[in-house]
Amino acid sequence: MTGYNNSNGGEVNTASNGNGHSNGHSNGHSNGNKSADYTAQENPTYPYEVIQEIADFITKGAGVRPKIGIICGSGLGSLADIIQDARIFEYEKIPNFPVSTVEGHAGKLVVGTLEGATVMAMQGRFHFYEGYPLAKCSMPVRVMKLCGVEYLFATNAAGGINPRYGVGDIMLMHDHVNMLGFAGNSPLQGPNDPRFGPRFPALTNSYNKDLINKAIEIGKAMGIESNIHVGVYSCLGGPNYETIAELKALRMMGVDAVGMSTVHEVITARHCDMKVFAFSLITNKCATEYNDKKDEEPSHDEVMAVAKMRQKDCCELVSRLIRELAMGSA
């Protein structure tokens, strides 16, 4: 049985003491690649050494240490397709990596260059509703950190609750309401390893203001400023979409867009001191009044279709922002 040593005041004992490693498979795929299999079902907090091993596998395989990490939202996998000199790692072939189970999340890690910067992109993220604990969902963010990533760019598809938002608009996230956190769930639950970050991280300045401002300028330069908003995202557990009463409650709480991801990744990134830029592509308008209109019900097909329609602008926004970062002006 894999278990962590919790007898030392809540810090993971990460010395080479045999804890945290077992002979089980974390993702049910016998890929013959694993040197330190780890049973994450029993202990969702991946030990530092296991994350280091995954990071080494990637940096050695890719031959670069990426500076920017990108997480592609539903239907936004094209953000990874524009990476040049790409080395592609299928999740199934990465030791101790979970597998993607959602349509629109290909399950590939792409490492290469974009606009002069070294990047790594997750073409496929992990969601709580897939059955993964939050620590497992956001484990790749720690892998990014140990690969050398300093900036996390997280993207998602989301429902627009703010009545001013239209389908296809982009909301730059400046804050979030963590509904899973309200329910007592966090990717940081369990023993804390100070090599990643502090036991009690502050989240007051989670979303980098300079990057938000740069993105607004870029939106103007692209001529899409009327489709760009700055707002608050909320993550629910999913996989069901929200009831009208839930959407009304979220609106009263100041939420502008709702989805089922990103927040756990941002928490994990801020915990290990990465700078964060995140945006939601509004793929559907959320109904906040009761009606019988079937065509106003959200569906993943609609989410994917809108993401496909808007992927070009999303790619341009991300590319331009990365170019500014690479030139040192963001």
Ligand X SMILES: O=P(O)(O)O[C@H]1O[C@H](CO)[C@@H](O)[C@H]1O
The binder of 258, among ligand HPA, ligand X, none, by C-beta within 5 to 8 A per type, is ligand HPA
Q: Which is nearer to ligand HPA, 75 or 133 (CB)?
A: 75
Smallest distance, Å, CB 211 to ligand HPA? Answer: 23
Q: Which is nearer to ligand X, 180 or 274 (CB)?
A: 180
The catalytic residue among 31, 300, 304, 319 is 300
Could you say whether residue 241 binds ligand HPA (CB under 6 A)?
A: yes
> What does 218-267 look like in DSSP terms, one character per residue?
HHHHTT-GGGEEEEEEEE---SS---HHHHHHHHHTT--EEESSSHHHHH
* DSSP-derived secondary structure letter, 79: H
> d(Cα 79, Cα 124) in Å, to the nearest integer?
11
Q: Which is nearer to ligand HPA, 80 or 236 (CB)?
A: 236
> d(Cα 173, Cα 258) in Å, to the nearest integer?
11
The binder of 127, among ligand HPA, ligand X, none, by C-beta within 5 to 8 A per type, is ligand X
Count of residues that bind ligand X according to CB under 6 A:
13
Sign of CA dihedral 135, 136, 137, 142: positive
* DSSP-derived secondary structure letter, 163: T
What are the φ/ψ torsions at residue 11 (nearest 5 degrees)?
-90, 140
Smallest distance, Å, CB 183 to ligand X? Answer: 17
Non-local (6+) Cβ contacts of 46 within 8 A are: 20, 38, 40, 96, 135, 136, 139, 142
Could you say whether residue 260 binds ligand X (CB under 6 A)?
A: yes
CB 238 within 8 A of CB 260: yes
Whether 257 is catalytic is no
Whether 21 is catalytic is no
The binder of 125, among ligand X, ligand HPA, none, by C-beta within 5 to 8 A per type, is ligand X
Could you say whether residue 306 binds ligand HPA (CB under 6 A)?
A: no
> Whose CB is nearest to ligand HPA?
159
CB 89 within 8 A of CB 112: no
Could you say whether residue 231 binds ligand HPA (CB under 6 A)?
A: no
Query: By three-state DSSP, how is residue 174 classified?
Result: strand
- Options 151-159, 192-200, 211-219, 308-316: segment touching ligand HPA (CB under 6 A): 151-159
3-state percent breakdown (helix, strand, coil) of the chain, nearest 5:
30, 20, 45
The catalytic residue among 53, 130, 242, 265 is 130
Q: Which is nearer to ligand HPA, 307 or 325 (CB)?
A: 307
Q: From the CB of residue 66, how many other CB atoms can be counted at a distance below 10 Å?
A: 25
The residues in 71-130 that bind ligand X, with binding defined as CB under 6 A, are 73-74, 102, 125, 127
* Structural tokens at position 123: 């073409």
Q: Which is nearer to ligand X, 62 or 235 (CB)?
A: 235
Position among 119, 286, 322, 326 found at the interface with ligand HPA (CB under 6 A): 286
Which helix (H) or strand (E) covers residue 55, if one does?
helix 48-62
Catalytic residue positions? 74, 105, 127, 129-130, 157, 260-261, 284, 300
**Contact residues for ligand HPA, defined by CB under 6 A:** 157-159, 241-242, 258-260, 283-284, 286, 298, 303
Contact residues: ligand X, CB under 6 A: 73-74, 102, 125, 127, 156-157, 238, 259-261, 300, 303
